[in-house]
Structure 1
Amino acid sequence: MRGMACVHVLFIRQGKVLGSRSYFPKVPGGTELGEVVETFVGQFYLQGSQMRTLPGEILLDFNLGDKTLLADSLSELAGRRVNVQTKPRGDRARYLKLARTNAATALTTKLSQQSTIHQRLQALATVLKLPAVKRMECFDISHTMGEQTVASCVVFDSNGPLRAEYRRYNITGITPGDDYAAMNQVLRRRYGKAIEENKIPDVILIDGGKGQLGQAKSVFAGLDVPWDKQHPLLLGVAKGSDRKAGLERYSSNQKVRGLTCRLIRLRCTLFSIFAMNPTIMPLPGIVKSGQKLKSTSSLETIEGVGPKRRQMLLKYMGGLQGLQQASVEEIAKVPGISHGLAEKIFYSLKH
């Protein structure tokens, strides 16, 4: 359906469903569903160093032309017999029915979300006076205790967020806290090279006002690249005076009116949080690098706690662990920390 299928996997051990997950492989036109399932199963269990533990039995909802070959291949890999069943009975048939129902629900939800995304991108293209917005990239700068500067990039296409293309860039060689220099560096690293035509973004969203947008314009003006550097529309987003979502200010070389990008900003903000806190949700390339970052980054999400207060809190409490174990009253004794802010810090660290 629309070049997409849903394969829902139930993980069953000793008759109990321990978990499940939906996958959405892309389907070329004219592909039989049985072929989709067969290809998916092979890729799902045969992933090299990331190879999954093979179960003793695999239940499938479609007849496979090479079911025996698939079972033999999996059995050889597992070092024991792996049965592949396509017409089970009893409880096993009910498991398949549950998986089928879940797959249909997940696919319907996915298509509905894509429809909404298409509508939003069409509206965005209209506001920006562009023929279409097929690809959009968003940049944000984050800091850890003023020592480690990280730039994050999230990517959207007409189907929604492309998580596999999210990138994190460690920024080096700049004055700590210089967001302009950080943005300049990440944009040069991202776009100062050859790019495939289908990877050239229609819109580049910069988290920052006219100053950051000026950095972006300067970078693009100096690019010497084989692709059309005039194609992307550069759009800067500055937080409003009260920092409420939906009241941001937008800067560009075009007049932009009535534009809200809350979804995009949320994605970028979340990705920055994940980059700073790899234990929240490990992403490709984040955990290894994140181990070099100080665990004090959990304080950065607390409003009202800037670099100086973070340093004072950690110094007074003897580190993050001591701060996490402190009471509200103990936190309030730290110079520059009010009782109200102490409560906010206490509950933020506990939750």
Structure 2
Amino acid sequence: KLRNCKDINFKNRSRPCIEYQMNRCSAPCVGYISENEYAKDVKNAINFLSGDTKKIIKDLNKNMDAYSIKEDYERAIIYRDKINAIRDTQKKQNVLTGFKDLDVFAIKKNKYNSCISVLKVEEGWINSSQNFYPDTKENISEEHLLSIFLERYVIENENRKKLNLLTDQKIREETKDFLKKLDNPKINIHKLDSKNNNLIEICSSQAKDALNRNNSFFWVSFALEALSNFLKIKRINRIEAFDISHTSGRQVSASCVALNKDGPDKKNYRLMNIKSDVNNDYFALSEAISRRIKNLQNSKLILPEVILIDGGKGQLNSVQKNLDKNILDKIIFISVSKGPNRKEKYDFLHFNNKRFELTELKDISKILQLLRNESHRFAISQHRKRRSKSLLASGIDEINGIGIKLHSNLLRHFGSKSKIMEASIDDLKSIPGIGSVKAKEIHSALNKK
């Protein structure tokens, strides 16, 4: 019965609050329980939440027996009820897990990171969970990665006599043989079935959620160092990437994303609406990069050492032609293009009028594809917003005297923008608030479109 009040309320109380009357607090604020007794309750609560119920039940039994000997049966009953409540909770938990002791494993991967989640069931409780983020610079399969992890996991738990393992992933035969030969701990790998499938679902869900929340970019600093060596420059503090998105030259949008040694540098992300609606990616990229560099210079901010363009040799050469020579001397320009059949694993890097296959550049391929994909995602998101806004707009908005209410009445009456466009002057006059003059203005404006 622990208190849940704030310290300021606890210090200033002269009589118990309603929590005590509801039998949910032992009222330490007014001394209804000794400091030592309350400290024991706090310790028991911590042990209970940590899954250590054996010691709690042992202590509660000792207290129950002590009060029984003193013939203080009311106090003894309180401890008996506590013991029964803990045992009832354990029974419910055992029904959930179906196991006394079990270690459950699940693995989730995305393009750049991996997460292995471990769910521990002890004494029937789902007692704890941990997430691990192995360094997966190389393209390792889930089977291989989990197998390596299991070997290390059992070695680190050699103080345990027995380990019951459960996973829905395949384990390498070499790993199975290694685990079978161990005497300490003794390994038992459970097969997946309907009884334990709920535990796999919980563990997999945790791995997926942890992977989504984890921003593990420890590898970026190494990749930037490898890229600077490849480009033969001293250091890369920041690299920026640009991409263009449009629909046949309309609502042309440009994105700029940045990355430093800590990962995505979102304070340097930028979105730009290209002034001219022209179906020309070369022109749009040149405008976006020129505007970005000009803004950095005007604000006296540091330029990136490298700029990456989403595109091939044509985009790269066009942008470089449109930039001042002093800029080209300060910034290195590279581009990444799709390979045959637009499959990412066959991407090319373009630099110094040369083309390199990213499959041959494993130390830098990951960071280049991350930048290219992020700039592409950012550009598309902006373009879609503009396109949606444009689709919702119409020539009606540009007519003087047409407000939100009248616009809404028109759409409600005719049902769609296309029907309004087809409406005659008489049809328009039938709308409340539209007279002959206004109907002619609307009809004339729509037929000009």
Classify the TM-score, shorter chain: 0.3 to 0.5
**Structure with greater helix percent:** 2
Larger Rg: 2
Q: Give the alignment's TM-score, normalised by structure 2.
A: 0.36
Q: Give the alignment's TM-score, normalised by structure 1.
A: 0.46
